Chain A
Amino acid sequence: MIAGILATARIEANIARRNRWVLIAVLLMVVFSLVLSAAGSAPTGALGADRLSVVVASLTSLSVYLVPLVALLMSFDAIAGEVERGTLPLLLTYPVARWEVLAGKLLAHVLILIVALAAGYGAAALVAILTDPQAMAGLGALWRLTWTSVLLGATFLGIGYAVSALSRRASGAAGLAVGVWLGLVVLYDLGLLAAVVADEGGFFTTQLFPVALLANPADAFRLFNLSAAEAGAAASGVAGAAGMIPQWQSLTSVVVWPIAALILAAQVFRKVDA
């Protein structure tokens, strides 16, 4: 059982390395993290927070967009690609269960994500610590950001596998993945903001809005990190809601989402004909 998962993870890591996905993910994270940490250096003094905490707040906003994107890019081909190439029937005659195949792919993709996150966040943190002696105070926030980013990535990997299994063609899966990203990460927030503005502090804003934020894995991730961070005050917009939602609720959403997404992926994959 473990051997099957490890063998699959190993071959997937080889494929990702060969296809430059590892390089692309690492470069994306490092470049954007460094750009943000450079851009975020101006307001440090005004806020009175240490440099690293401010960087973590900026990285949180970045990761909400970037981590789901990287995860979907790595996962959309996982099952549709096998179906389209015709490699799935042979694989399924081997003594390996479908969930083991999925677990192996997940393991490889999560490890790649961890490498990319460590490189990106690490670079930004290094710059912050080198330029501000007080920055060590923000290490706790950085650690929280890192593990929640991994969970956010796992959520979107699971969603990506489900999309991949549903569409059964790599091109269709890619389109659907972009749609999922736009919908969950970009349009969802815009829709909520529009509704809050139109509602003018009515039932929607006080009752539905917090639930809607918790229901979205990207928003829950942002809420959890900002409500925990000392630099939360620097945040604005949707993140302003961080104060009115208890932290245990956003934590629950952050932890439950990856499990739910992966169970969904396994269920959809089970229905794919060999």
Chain B
Amino acid sequence: MTSTLTISHLTKRFGGVHALSDVSLSVAPGERVALLGHNGAGKSTMMKIMLGLIAPDSGDITVCGAAPGDAEARMKVAYLPENVAFHPALTGLEQVSFYMRLRNVDPRGAHDLLARVGLADAATRRIGTFSKGMRQRVGLAQALIGHPRLLVLDEPTSGLDPVSRRDFYELLDGLAADGAAILLSSHALTEVEARTDRLLILSGGRMVAEGSLHELRSKAALPVSLHISAMNGHVSELMGAFPNAIRTDAGLNLTCTQDDKLATLARISDLRGMVADLEVIPPSLEDIYSHFSRRDGQ
């Protein structure tokens, strides 16, 4: 299957600063990919390059079989910028109708499109009166026009409440099921984890990690934490069995590597007469993210 988006060895400098260094990635049709990175990691720059808004210094980019910014690519790519803005004097309906006309889509569907993002009642109000979340929804609506093959979404859920976020990811699931490739950037790690197929971590303009959460977890090889609650009076005996553990009020905390996890669990289960309860805590998404994004001395 050919990729919808392919980037190889992309480099971009602003003045003397390396905004992006030798970045390569690809996104297949129907794939939902999350782009993670701290502020200034190069996420927005990379998105603007794949949209043809900024020219790269070097590297090859193919978007829907065309060069970024080509008329053909623009027909097939939808974009939602970070902090999307519209003319405040226009109504939601006028603004979306305009974007539909630019994509040669019948503007009579504008009302339905706004209804899809939950703006049916506000369609004829001026965007100047909208809240940030409502403006964001107008932004989402325009990104859905004309069955795009690639959606480039820069922090699409910022300003949305939890219910709207869930609705938004359901919209994305539908688009991906239709074969659209989706690349979105986000700071909200937990929601991205559950709703995307693959994570990319950008740090200081470099791609420092790529893969599913499971793959990143094993690549990071971060320790697993175990909380053991001891039966009354057995804490000291347990400490004897696990000398490296840290004693807490009613039990002990210990850590082990992923590879040792099962062996450690077996040892604990051998001591089941002394153990009241056991909690296994895998490294959190934040831990994994920090692990990768700090590797370059960030």
Instruction: Give chain A's interface residues, CB within 8 Å of chain B.
Output: 3-4, 6-8, 10-11, 14-15, 18-19, 85-87, 89-90, 92-96, 273-274
Assess A15 versus B87: contact at CB under 8 Å? Given A89-B53, A90-B79, A95-B75. yes
Q: Do B90 and A93 touch (CB < 8 A)? A: no
Residues of chain A within 8 A (CB-CB) of B56 are none
Cβ B101 vs Cβ A10 within 8 A: yes
Number of chain B interface residues as a range? 20 to 34
Closest chain B CB from A67 CB (angstroms): 25
B98 at the interface (CB under 8 A from A): yes
Contact: B54 with A274, CB < 8 Å?
A: yes
A4 engages B102 (CB within 8 Å): yes
Bound Cα distance A80, B86 (Å)? 14
User: Can you list 6 A-B pairs with a CB-CB distance of less than 8 A?
Assistant: A11-B94, A92-B53, A93-B53, A94-B74, A94-B102, A274-B54
Q: Is B48 an interface residue (CB 8 A)?
A: yes
B283 within 8 A of A: no
Which positions in B face A, CB cutoff 8 Å? 48, 51-54, 71, 74-75, 77-79, 81, 83-87, 89-90, 94-95, 98-99, 101-104, 126, 139, 142
Contacts of A4 in B (CB 8 A): 101-102
**In the complex, number of A-B residue pairs with CB atoms less than 8 Å apart:** 69
| Shortest beta-carbon distance from A11 to chain B in Å | 4
* Choice from B52, B90, B139 contacting A11 with Cβ under 8 Å: B90
CA A7 to CA B54, docked complex, whole Å: 25
Report chain A residues within 8 Å CB of B90: 11, 14-15, 18
Shortest distance from the beta carbon of B123 to any chain A beta carbon, whole Å: 15
| Structural contact, A11 and B98, CB atoms closer than 8 A | yes
Complex contact B81–A86 (CB within 8 A): yes
Complex CA distance for A18 and B74, rounded to whole angstroms: 30
A14 to B97, CA, bound (A): 12
Least Cβ–Cβ distance between A248 and chain B, in angstroms: 42
CB distance from B126 to the nearest CB of A (A): 8
Closest to A18 in B: B89
Tell me the nearest residue of chain B to A16, going by C-beta.
Answer: B89
Tell me, rounded to whole Å, the shortest Cβ–Cβ distance linking A73 to chain B: 16
> Which of A10, A85, A93 contacts B98, CB < 8 Å?
A10
A87:B86 contact, CB within 8 angstroms: yes
Highest count of chain B CB atoms <10 Å: which of A85, A87, A93: A93
User: In the complex, how many angstroms separate the beta carbon of A84 from the nearest chain B beta carbon?
Assistant: 9
Bound form: Cα–Cα A86–B101 in Å = 21
Given contacts A6-B101, A10-B101, A274-B53, contact A85 B79 (CB under 8 A): no
Q: Which residues of B are found within 8 Å of A90, using beta-carbon distances?
A: 79, 81, 84, 139, 142
Extra contacts, 9 of them, besides A11-B90, A15-B90, A86-B81 (Cβ < 8 A), are A4-B101, A7-B101, A10-B101, A85-B85, A86-B84, A87-B87, A93-B79, A95-B74, A95-B102
- Nearest neighbor of A1 in chain B, beta-carbon distance: B71
**How distant is the Cα of A93 from the Cα of B87 in the complex, in angstroms?**
17
User: Which of chain B's residues have a CB closer than 8 A to the CB of A15?
Assistant: 87, 89-90
Residues of chain A lying within 8 A (CB to CB) of residue B53:
89, 92-93, 274
Pick from B52, B75, B85: contact of A86, CB under 8 Å: B85
Inter-chain contacts of B94 with A (CB < 8 A): 11, 14
Q: Which residues of B contact A94 (CB under 8 A)?
A: 74, 99, 102-103
Chain B residues with CB under 8 Å of A87's CB are 85-87
Give bound CA distance, A89 to B52, whole Å: 10
